[in-house]
Every structure is written in structure tokens, then in C-alpha cells.
Structure 1
């Protein structure tokens, strides 16, 4: 990740900057509402954007009934995300997803299944999804996943620190998580659907970046409200302002509820508008998704053949 660019080292906690963060909710919602209609792409351009979206997917399974067999199938899909005949017709053989994301127990099987592919394994950690297990156990969980071969760790923050405005506690927690990750890159899951306001989202984004997060991520996918365009706009602008202030680029990962190809296109347009082309790479942008890939594959087959196909023709896992 972040090839050729310095990893976010973090900064000292600046409470004055945190408290100065604000969010004009009505203006943000208006901007988000106009995006799908103003940034549509068609035909060859749409196919190219959808292929880009595939390369940015953290292909995910986070279910209580996960098995090693399911994870191996998911990893096979990450290696070959679209049927070979479709990729050949589009001239992009060798396309893979950005990563595979699993629970800790499935890290080792995923690492074995992806050996030699260059596809990283991401592990959800720190008491995912609630983040309410004892702190020393959350740190230990990170260490266990790194030792098992995970090169990316998706941690969950303690939402209570945001809701009570205890920014020092959030900073200290995030800093400890970053240190426990070592060389593994850390994505901070804000669980934005549980933070109450867009202003809280902006403030939590800044604190996590100051504490050294490599990515900030919207959701666990388990909340009632997951990734949304207004939340994404707030988080992307925080990333943009953080780079202007520090020189460090931080990645962004919307997760939960993004299941349609047209939604992926909208998010990519927002990234291009707000952050620029540099963020349209796996180093700085990921989709957290499980079912999104299936819909993209159907759209690509339609582009190549002129026919829509049933979902079962594009098995995922």
C-alpha cells in the first residue's frame, strides 16, 4: 500500500483544530443528492470505470458461518473476479480485487489461498463490530492477526469517545492500535451510522488521522446505517484538508450497503471530484463489499455481449 508515498506518521493531537471542525448538513446533503445525475458514464467509459472498481474492492466475508472452504472460494474469486472470456474481450487479463477481508480465524486460510497472487489479506479486529472487548484483548487480537499473515488490519474505534467528546481517549486508543499493527497498515472504522452527526464524523476522522490511521473507513457493515454519500463527502474533505496540513495522504474506504455497479460509479466520481486521480488506486481507496462484484460482472457481460445474464452465471463464493 502507498507505494512511493510516505506512510501517514500522524501528528500531535491538536484539540483546537478538532473543535473547529464543522459540517453544514443541508449543503452536504444537497451536494450528495446531485452527484448521481451529474456524473454518469456510459458504454466503454462505464466498462473502464467498473473494471477500476473491481481493482478497488476488499472482497469480504464476515459471517458467523464462515468456513475455510468458503474463504478459499472467496480467494479464488479475488484472483479471478470476472469470467476469463469477459476479461479477454475487454483486454484486461490478470485483473484482481484489491484485497480479501475476513475475521481473524480465517486469516491463515486466506493467506494460503492467496499465496503468490500479491493480493493482501485484511483482518477485522479490536472486538469487531462493537469494539467493546477489554482493551488488552483488542491489542492482542491485532498482534495475532499480524502474526497469522494479515497485512492490513481494519480496527473499530470506541464510539463512546466520539459521543462524549473525549478526543484524547480516542487519539490514545488509535495510536495504540497503530503501534500494535507494526508494518501492517491500519484502517480505522468510524461506524459513522452510530456517531450522531456529520460534525462528529469530521472530528473523529481528524483524530484518527492525527493518530496515524492509514485509511479511514465508514462502517463495519453491521450498523443500521452504513456508507452514505454525505458521510463520504465529509470524510473525503477531511482527508483532503489533512493532506494540505501535513503532507500525508490517507486512504478512504466506504463499506456496507454498496451492492450495485451504479453506486460504485457514483462513489468513484465523488473520489475523483474531491480527492483527485491519485486516490483512484488500491493504495488510497477501497470498497468494502461482498455482493458488489456480482453486479459489476453482470454489467460487464452485458457490455461485451449485449445480453444480461442471471446472477448464477457469475458465482462468487
Structure 2
């Protein structure tokens, strides 16, 4: 299938057209992905560790906390989710600290497809988006028509964003064109009759991809197929977002924009629970891709518990007192 990624302007369109041979066949796609530079694991982990030691204080820390809050996809993905729980989460997303209305809103509320309508109605015109996982999340073990029906259901209910999971089995078996075509099909299913489209986040489940080289290949594969965001993890496995695997995604989106002129967002998800963790990731963004990605249009945190720690640290900065966990709601 030829490359048909939406381009950002005529120059990007021309660059993408020049790469159309890459996705013409399974063989050409494999040659391209395996021709990407190998990842220096020691260098990658060393850089991530070094950047993680940066000290952020006072005014810069306050800015980073507010920025991180604004980047959160506040998430509930449990079998016991109820409409009431989703409504409460939406209320928290719009006003994270009811006693301080200067607190930023989160970027989105992330739910299963059957809760999209509830979230959409609860959020109203708040500006907080509704994200929905789909494609048989989290394992992705379903036939393509079932996955596409899952996406269509979420989009019809009003989802602004769709978080899909790739077929890791196909990817690890080297069936790259199958994964590419599936992402393209999901991208098409994100379109609405009015010609608008839900943004597509493509989840790689980096903890299951075994090697850093595979994470880099998956990143390029997702972007070539039209991902609006590339995302580390579902949050449902043992190894989720880490600074090294997120650094690979950041390097990939930087190189992709330099190559074809299209900017793609990044979303680390799972295991990011503290303000200190979030700031480490923001430093990675600033030092790897720069200010262009330092907004919730281009960087998100997939998290459920991170917001509470950010709120407690925010209150400590403003009052000088640490309020403790009773200050925030338990989701």
C-alpha cells in the first residue's frame, strides 16, 4: 500500500511522496526499518539518566507542574468503571483543585468506548478532550473488523482521540506491512461523516518489544502509517513508560519531522506517578525535541495517579505547607 500520511503543507507532501516506495511492499518496509541506525543502549540509558538529574527549582518548578497538569490524559480503564466514576473523573479533570481555580485543566479524559458518551456529556464545552482506547485494548487480540468496529463505536460516541494498540505479535514476527495496513485502516475509521477526524495515538507496548531497536522501528512504522501521536504503553504490563524508551520516541519524532516535515506527538503512559517523574520527562522533551513539543498538542502523560501528586506539590509551592494525600480525591 502506498504511503498516504497527511502532510503539513506542500513541502511535506512532496517529501512524503518521495518516500512512497518505503511502504510499497513488506520487503521494502522491512529494508527501511532495519536500515534505521541501531540504538546505542549504553548511550541512550546514560543520556536519559543524566537528564534525569537536572534540578528544577522555584519558578521553573511551578511552571513545570502546571505544564504537566495540562498534559495529562486522566485515565480510568477498569472493568468496574461506572458512569458515576467517569463523571467524577471528568469533574476533576476540569477543576483539578476546586479550591484553586487557577489550576490548569487536564488535556483529556481517557476511557473505554462505552464510556465516551458519558464523558462527552460531562465535559461539555470545557475544552477537555475525550480520548478512548480501542482496537481490543490492551492486548489487541482480535480480528481487524472487530477492532475497526471498536474504533467506529468510540468515534460515533464523540471521541476526540483514539488510542489504538498495535498487533505486537505481527510486529515481532516481522509482518510490518500487516501492522502498517492495520494502522492505516484504524486511521480511516477515525474519520467522521463531516470530514473531521479523531486524532490517532498508536500504542506500541514498548515493554513487550524486547529491544530498543524494535522500539525505534515501531516508532517509524507508526508515523509512516499516519499516527498523530506515538505512545509507549497501555499501562497494563510490567514495564511501561521509562525515560530511555520515551527518549527513543522523542528522537524518532524529531528525526521524522526533519525528514518529511510532519510533526508527531509523544505520549509516555503507565508508571509515571510523581511530580519528580513528570519533570524528568519534561526535561527529556525540552532537551531532545525542544519547545515545539512542550504543549499538550504534542506531548501527553497517560496517568491516573500522577495528578494527585502534582496537586500536592503545587499547593506546597503556593502555601509552603505540604497538605498530604487527604488534600486530593482518591480516584
Shared fold per TM-score greater than 0.5:
yes
Q: Distance in 2 between matches of 1:94 and 1:225?
A: 31
Distance 1:313 1:234 in 2: 36
What CA distance in whole angstroms lies between the structure 1 residues aligned with 2:279 and 2:286?
A: 11
Offset of residue 94 of structure 1: 6.4
Residues 1:316 and 1:48: Cα distance change in structure 2 (over 3 Å): farther
1:194 alignment counterpart: 208
Task: State the shift of 1:95 in Å.
Answer: 2.0
Among 25, 44, 66, which residue is 1:51 paired with?
66
Unaligned runs of at least 5 residues, structure 2:
1-7, 192-196
| Superposition deviation, residue 165 in structure 1 | 1.6
Equivalent residues in 2 for 1:17-36, closer than 5 Å: 17-21=32-36, 22-36=38-52
1:292 maps to: 306
Contact 1:227 1:257 in 2 (8 A): yes
Q: Is residue 245 from structure 1 mapped to residue 254 from structure 2 by the alignment?
A: no
- 1:133 correspondence with 2:145: no
Aligned to 2:270: 256
1:46-83, Cα deviation, whole Å (9 max, x unpaired) = 01110010000000001111000000000000100124
Q: Give, in whole Å, the separation in 2 of the partners of 1:117 and 1:231.
A: 33
Per-residue CA deviations over 1:233-261 (Å, capped at 9, x if unaligned) read 11111111110111000000000000000
Pairwise mapping of residues 22-171 of structure 1 onto structure 2 (< 5 A)? 22-37=38-53, 39-85=54-100, 87=101, 93=102, 95-171=104-180
Per-residue CA deviation, residues 187-229 of structure 1 (Å, 9 max, x unaligned), is: 0000000001000000011011000000000000001100011
Distance 2:139 2:209 in 1: 13
Q: Deviations over 1:10-63 (max 9, x none)?
A: 7632623311122111111111111221x2211121011100100000000011
Gaps of 5+ in 1: 88-92
1:277 corresponds to: 291
Q: Which has the higher contact order (CA 8 A, sep 6+)?
A: 1
Which residue of the other structure, out of 179, 195, 220, is the alignment partner of 2:188? 179
**Does the aligned pair in 1 maintain the 2:96–2:103 contact within 8 Å?**
no
Tell me the residue number matched to 1:313.
Answer: 327
TM-score of the aligned structures, taking structure 2 as reference length: 0.89
Matches of 1:94 and 1:218, distance apart in 2? 27
Please say if residues 110 and 133 of structure 2, whose CA atoms lie closer than 8 Å, have aligned partners that are also in contact. yes
1:90 corresponds to: none
Do 2:97 and 2:103's aligned partners in 1 also have CA atoms closer than 8 Å?
no
Whether the 8 Å CA contact 1:40–1:266 is kept in 2: the answer is no
Counterpart secondary structure, 1:296: helix
